[in-house]
């Protein structure tokens, strides 16, 4: 009987400690436990609302980051900020369903969001991105965190595929990876694994996803219209060749990488230490003037 009581006690205690990973699903009474369990680590998953060919949902990027974050946080607990779909997507404004805010608003909203996350007790904020048009914005945003003193650190999850994994993917692919950039085989495969109910794969051939190469006369130059010049349909790839099996492989790899990143961030003390040292030295320079 004593053993049974002990087992019931420990199982009840373990159950009581299970709290949601999503910020919006936590209660106020959960908050101290969430801060402790996450070691004050919060994930900010950023997607976007835009066309993904004629066959995939407008929120494809959002669906991806939502799932990556949720699955990784269950492996390595962190609090996941609610759906965030405000980023750089001006190249898709000619397509229905695109949600593109003014650039100043995008920046200020992101800056205010991380500050508000920090005000609520988190000092490690991990940005997880699902949109191909965001990395330049996000890298600059993370670098800009050194502009003024702050008592929290922002990390950008930016994984690189290991050669062995890349080879596995290559063997499973049915389309040319060089042209698979947006709404093509990779993205559609992941959606077939995560949300097959939202994919209308039979519509993938309704428009061309081939590179039109309309700026071929401007070598070694960058201009904002480059994407539209290449892919006026805002579709790059062959979504009709996607498979659930490839999607499962891609998703599990991303979740594994994010899980490892979260573990590293949660145990990281050096970033905040060096950041404080940096700002202290910046302040001394001002005094010397």
CA distance 204 to 138: 30
CB atoms within 10 A of CB 8: 10
The confidence score (pLDDT) of residue 14 equals 43
Tell me what pLDDT residue 15 has.
Answer: 40
Looking at residue 231, the DSSP 8-state letter turns out to be -
Residues of the chain with confidence (pLDDT) below 50: 6-16
**Residues 122 and 130: beta-carbon distance below 8 Å:** no
Ordered strands of the 124-129 beta sheet: 79-80, 41-46, 124-129, 153-157
Q: Please say whether the beta carbons of 41 and 124 come within 8 A.
A: yes
d(CA 112, CA 216): 40
Q: What is the pTM of this model?
A: 0.92
Cα end-to-end distance, the chain, whole Å = 75
Q: DSSP 3-state helix, strand, coil percentages of the chain (rounded to 5)?
A: 55, 10, 35
Per-residue pLDDT of 177-234, as tens digits, reads: 999 999 999 999 999 999 999 999 999 999 999 999 999 889 899 999 999 999 999 9
- DSSP for 193-222, please give it: HH-GGG--GGGTTSS--S---TTTTSTT--
Name the nearest CA neighbour of 100 among 145, 146, 51, 136.
51
Phi and psi angles of residue 214, each rounded to the nearest 5 degrees, phi first: -85, -5
Would you state the structure tokens that stand for residue 227, as one six-digit string? 């994407």
CB 164 within 8 A of CB 245: no
Cβ proximity of 85 and 99 under 8 Å = yes
**Cβ count within 10 A of residue 14:** 9
| 94 Cβ contact partners less than 8 Å away, ≥ 6 residues apart | 228, 234
| pLDDT at 17 (0 to 100) | 61
d(CA 135, CA 69): 17
DSSP β-bridge partners for residue 79: 42
Positive/negative CA dihedral, 216, 218, 220, 223: negative
* 85-115 core/surface letters (b: 16 or more CB in 10 A; e: else): bbbbbbbbeebeebebbeeeebbeebeebbe
pLDDT of residue 3: 53
3-state SS class at 125: strand
pLDDT of residue 285: 86
Structure tokens at 18: 């299970």
Please tell me what DSSP assigns to residue 184: S
């Amino acid at each position: 009987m004593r053993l049974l009581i002990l087992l019931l006690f420990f199982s009840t205690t373990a159950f009581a400690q299970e709290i949601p990973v999503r910020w919006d699903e936590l209660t106020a009474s959960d908050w101290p436990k969430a801060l402790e369990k996450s070691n004050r680590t919060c994930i900010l998953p950023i997607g976007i609302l835009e066309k993904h060919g004629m066959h995939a949902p407008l929120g494809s990027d959002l669906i991806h980051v939502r799932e990556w974050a949720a699955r990784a946080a269950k492996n390595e607990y962190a609090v996941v900020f609610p759906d965030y779909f405000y980023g750089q997507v001006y190249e898709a404004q000619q397509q229905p369903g695109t949600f593109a805010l003014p650039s100043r608003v995008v920046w200020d909203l992101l800056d205010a969001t991380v500050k508000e996350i920090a005000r609520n007790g988190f000092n490690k904020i991990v940005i997880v991105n699902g949109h191909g048009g965001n990395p330049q914005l996000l890298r600059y945003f993370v670098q800009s965190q050194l502009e003024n003193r702050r008592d929290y650190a922002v990390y950008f999850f930016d994984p690189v595929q290991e050669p062995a994994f890349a080879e596995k993917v290559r063997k499973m692919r049915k389309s040319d990876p060089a042209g698979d950039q947006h709404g093509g085989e990779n993205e559609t495969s992941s959606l077939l694994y995560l949300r097959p109910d939202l994919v209308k794969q039979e519509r993938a051939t309704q428009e061309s996803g081939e590179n039109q190469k309309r700026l071929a006369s401007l070598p070694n130059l960058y201009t904002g219209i480059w994407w539209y010049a290449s892919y006026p349909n805002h579709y790059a790839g062959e979504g009709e060749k996607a498979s659930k099996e490839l999607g499962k492989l891609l998703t599990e790899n991303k979740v594994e990488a994010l899980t490892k990143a979260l573990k590293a961030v949660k145990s990281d003390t050096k970033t905040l230490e060096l950041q404080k040292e940096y700002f202290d030295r910046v302040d001394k320079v001002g005094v010397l003037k």
